[in-house]
Structure 1
Amino acid sequence: MKEVVLALITGMVVGFLFTLFRLPIPAPPALAGVAGIVGVYLGMRLFQWLSLLWK
């Protein structure tokens, strides 16, 4: 849980700084982009789970 909170705080700081300096945000600007990132993570976890079953 600590990692999640630290990642959220880091993301907020980065978002703040990028907006302050009027730079493009280094993340997907839409919910579909965020869903894609979550999908990549879930696909990785699914592969890890299936690889445990194959052993």
Structure 2
Amino acid sequence: MSTQITVLALLTGLLTGALFRFLNVPIPAPPELPGIMGIVGIFIGYKLIDYADIGVDLLDALGL
């Protein structure tokens, strides 16, 4: 993972969040800590399954 991409993503998020607040538009993300932790949990779960190298190709299982 590139540190430069991570920093750019953080800066983009900060600018976007500031713009949403400046325009008094609700952010398209959970504004409370439990919601944010849910998103973090989804990411960690995804990474754990990726690390374990297990999974099912859903499209292949459906024949698509």
Give the TM bin, normalised by the shorter chain.
Answer: 0.7 to 0.9
TM-score by length of 2: 0.70
- Counterpart of 1:37 in structure 2 is 39
CA RMSD of aligned residues (A): 1.4
- Counterpart of 2:60 in structure 1 is none
Percent same amino acid among aligned pairs? 44
Unaligned runs of 5+ residues in structure 2 are 55-64
What is the count of residue pairs matched by the alignment? 52
Counterpart of 1:30 in structure 2: which amino acid?
E
Say which structure, 1 or 2, has more relative contact order (CA 8 Å, 6+ apart): 1
- Structure with the greater alpha carbon radius of gyration: 2
Counterpart of 1:40 in structure 2: which amino acid?
I
TM-score by length of 1: 0.79
Once the two structures are superposed, residues 2-53 of structure 1 have per-residue CA deviations (whole angstroms, 9 ceiling, x without a partner) of 222111111111111111111111221111111111111111111111116x
Could you list the structure 1 runs, at least 4 aligned residues long, displaced by more than 4 angstroms after superposition. Answer: none
- What is the correspondence of 1:38-53 to structure 2 with a 5 Å cutoff? 38-51=40-53
